[in-house]
């Protein structure tokens, strides 16, 4: 999308939603168009960069200037970064930097499109960060949540303790997934701070457990949505806009790939 572009939308004489001259027959309602999405993601990246700049957390990559060279084992050079024993964590803190970046945990699969946009905007605002992924499952085939959270893969990063950690998720609806993940990371990794960011936040009457994310890009209706990472059995993640699907579309792809 070109900077400054404003999407146009209408319903044609066939009753199909049209955005920027493209038809979306799978949609019954527009939730957010690409221009609105990009502005909201960019604005939130700016806010988060401002919130985190200058914050200190555990220094897991101490520079040689802050160490006694005699502590270095044979073979470690001034270009080495991970110079501490992983079993003897430092209590030293340092500001968020390229050596000690903000840790972002992106929840797969739904948030990968959002994450790709968000981290590039975050880079535009000069906040050093790195991204790892965690994968959960809460939906059966189709559009109904099972209500059971399954941890499919853990973060690969090992040194989250004492760090500022930000969890990125596509949506907070029932609150179950967000609370599960918040408790799991907090209990098992002991970060200095742990906050949550969702692309879309559904209203409080969608909650099954009490949970509210610290950051949100957009509010969403209490309806199933598709596009911009949201899917029905992995279809429609690629759509640039977010829609409520038609009732027919909800049951179109009920088989597992």
> Which candidate, 157, 107, 159, 110, places its Cα nearest to that of 133?
107
Q: Is 104 helix (H, G, I), strand (E, B) or coil?
A: strand
Separation of alpha carbons 100 and 94, rounded Å: 7
Separation of alpha carbons 235 and 256, rounded Å: 11
Is 173 considered catalytic here?
yes
- DSSP class of 80: -
Which one of the listed residues 59, 117, 170, 173 is annotated catalytic? Answer: 173
> Which candidate, 129, 110, 121, 145, places its Cα nearest to that of 231?
110
Separation of alpha carbons 186 and 228, rounded Å: 28
Catalytic residues, which ones? 173
């Amino acid at each position: 999308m070109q900077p400054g572009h404003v999407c146009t939308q209408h319903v044609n004489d066939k009753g199909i939603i049209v955005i920027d001259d493209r038809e979306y027959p799978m949609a019954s309602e527009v939730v957010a168009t690409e221009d609105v999405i990009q502005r909201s993601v960019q604005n939130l990246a700016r806010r988060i960069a401002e919130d985190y700049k200058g914050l200190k957390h555990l220094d897991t990559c101490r520079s040689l200037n802050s160490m006694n060279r005699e502590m270095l084992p044979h073979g470690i050079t001034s270009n080495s970064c991970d110079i501490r024993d992983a079993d003897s964590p430092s209590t030293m803190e340092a500001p968020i930097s390229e050596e000690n970046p903000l840790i972002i945990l992106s929840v797969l699969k739904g948030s990968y499109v959002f994450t790709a946009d968000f981290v590039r905007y975050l880079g535009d605002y000069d906040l050093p960060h790195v991204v790892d992924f965690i994968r959960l499952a809460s939906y059966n085939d189709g559009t109904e949540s099972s209500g059971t959270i399954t941890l499919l893969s853990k973060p690969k990063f090992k040194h989250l303790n004492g760090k500022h950690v930000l969890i990125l998720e596509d949506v907070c609806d029932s609150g179950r997934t967000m609370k599960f993940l918040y408790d799991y990371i907090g209990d098992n990794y002991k970060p200095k701070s742990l906050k949550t960011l969702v692309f879309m936040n559904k209203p409080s009457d969608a909650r099954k457990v009490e949970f509210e994310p610290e950051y949100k890009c957009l509010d969403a209706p209490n309806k199933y949505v598709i596009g911009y990472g949201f899917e029905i059995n992995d279809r429609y993640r690629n759509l640039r806009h977010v829609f409520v699907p038609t009732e027919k579309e909800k049951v179109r792809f009920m088989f597992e790939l």
